[in-house]
Amino acid sequence: MRSSYLSYAVFSAFISFSFAVGAFAAPPSPTPLATFHVPGLATNDYLGWSLATDGQRVLVGTGLGSAYLYDPFTQQQLAKVTLPSADVGTSVALQGDSAVIAGTFDTYVYNFADLTNISKIKLTPSDYPGTRVGFSVDMSGDVVIAAAAKDPNNAAIGGAAYLFDRVTGNQIARLVANDGQENDGFGVAVAIDEGRAAVAALQPLSSSGGAVYLFDAEPSTVGNRQLAKYAPAPGLQSPGQFGYNVDLNDETLVATQPFGQSFIWPTAGTPAPLASSSGNIRAAADGVSVSSDYVALGIEIQGLVRIYDKTGKTVGILAPPPGSPIGFGLAVAIEGDLLAVSAGGGSPAASTVYVYRVQDVLVVPEPSSVAMTLLGVCGVAASSRRRPRR
C-alpha cells in the first residue's frame, strides 16, 4: 500500500463548505459492522497496512510483520501471528483457514484450522534458494503467488514472481517477463485467480509508464506462461507507474497509478480509466480489491472508498465514520458482503480498521465535479510517504 495523509480537519472543513454551496452530494457513512483498533503499536507498525477478507473473516497486516485475524460478526480477535524475521511491511491473503502472510523478504502460509495450534510453512524458491520473496502476495485455491521485486539471482531480469503449492510449500513455477530488464520493478504488485496471475512492473522495457503482465498459473502448465502484457494508451500513461497496485478476479483486472488514474479492463481487452480517477486533482487509489461483483478503490488522500461494478460504473461511495482518524482508504479488501477499510491515522496509535456490509455501501449519489475538484485542491496540503504494497 501507499500512504499519503490529508488532515482530517481540512477534509471535514471542506465537507461543511461543500454543503453550504450545494456542491457536494454527501456520501453516506453507514455504521460499521465492526471496528478494530490495537493499542500500544510501535512506531511504523500501522494497523491496516494491508487487508484481506474471504467474506467471513478479516486478516489485518501491520507495518512491522504482524497480522491479526478477526471475526467481524462477533468483533472478536481470533489470532495474532508475527513473522519470525523482523520484516518491514506486511502483505496478506486469506482463504478459509489458510492465510499467506509476508514481509518484504519472507513469506509463510499459516493454517488457522486449529486456533490453539497454528502451524506455518515457509515458502522458499527451490531453483534460487537465496531469493527472499514476499514483496507482494496473493492466493487462489492451492496456488500461492509471492514476488521478489528485485531478484538478486538474475540482475538482467530485475524481478520475479513465484508460484507455490499452498499445502506443501513446493515451488510450482518462476514467472518473469518476456521483455524483462534490470530494475524494472517486476513483481511490485501481484494477484492470482482461477489459474491466472497478474504481475505488475513499474518500468518495463518499451513502456516507461508501467505494465501489467498476465500469466498462466495452472500447476500443470509447461513452458512459456506469459499470456498478455497490458499498458494504458500513451496519452494516459502520465505520470506513470501503472501497476502500482493490481488485482484480478475472473475476467476483470484493475490497476492503479500512485498519482494518476485507476484502470479497469477485461483480460481480453485494454486498460480503460475508471470514472472519477483523473490524476489532475488527487492521488490515485492507495488500495484496490476486486470481488466477484465489485471493485473497491481506496482513495486515502480524499478519505473515501469508491465502489464500482465490473463495468466500471460507480455504485457506491463510502465516507469515514464520525471520529475516524485521517487516511481512511489506506487499504481495502472486498469479498462477498464484506468490505474492510483501514485508516492510517497519521500514527500507529490512531490506525483503525473498519468492516462494513457491502449492501450498506451501495447506491449513493455521485459527488459533483466541482466538489471533487475542490477536494483535490485541499489534498495538495497532504504529505505523503511511500511504502510496500500489500
pLDDT at res. 151 = 58
- Tell me which CATH code domain 3-385 carries: 2.130.10.10
pLDDT at res. 47 = 96
Residue stretches of the chain with pLDDT short of 70: 1-28, 86, 149-158, 204-208, 237-239, 278-286, 364-390
Left if phi > 0, otherwise alpha if psi is -120 to 50, otherwise beta: which for 295?
Answer: beta
Q: For 267, how many CA atoms within 13 A lie in the half-sphere containing its CB?
A: 20
Give pLDDT tens digits for 254-274.
999 887 789 999 999 999 999
pLDDT at res. 131 = 82
pTM of the model: 0.84
The answer to whether 177 touches 156, Cβ cutoff 8 Å, is no
Identify the bridge partners of residue 93 per DSSP, sorted by sequence position: 100
The answer to whether 346 touches 7, Cβ cutoff 8 Å, is no
Give pLDDT tens digits for 214-252.
999 999 999 999 999 999 887 776 667 889 999 999 999
The answer to whether 248 touches 218, Cβ cutoff 8 Å, is no
Among candidate residues 305, 337, 338, 308, the one with its CA nearest the CA of residue 321: 305
pLDDT at res. 372 = 45
pLDDT at res. 162 = 96
- Give Dmax (Cα) for the chain: 63
Identify the bridge partners of residue 137 per DSSP, sorted by sequence position: 146
Beta-carbon contacts of 310 under 8 Å, excluding residues fewer than 6 positions away, are 252, 264, 293, 294, 295
Among candidate residues 326, 356, 355, the one with its CA nearest the CA of residue 343: 326
- CA quadruple 239, 243, 247, 253: dihedral sign: positive
The answer to whether 208 touches 181, Cβ cutoff 8 Å, is no
Cell of 213: 503482465
Cell of 296: 473497491
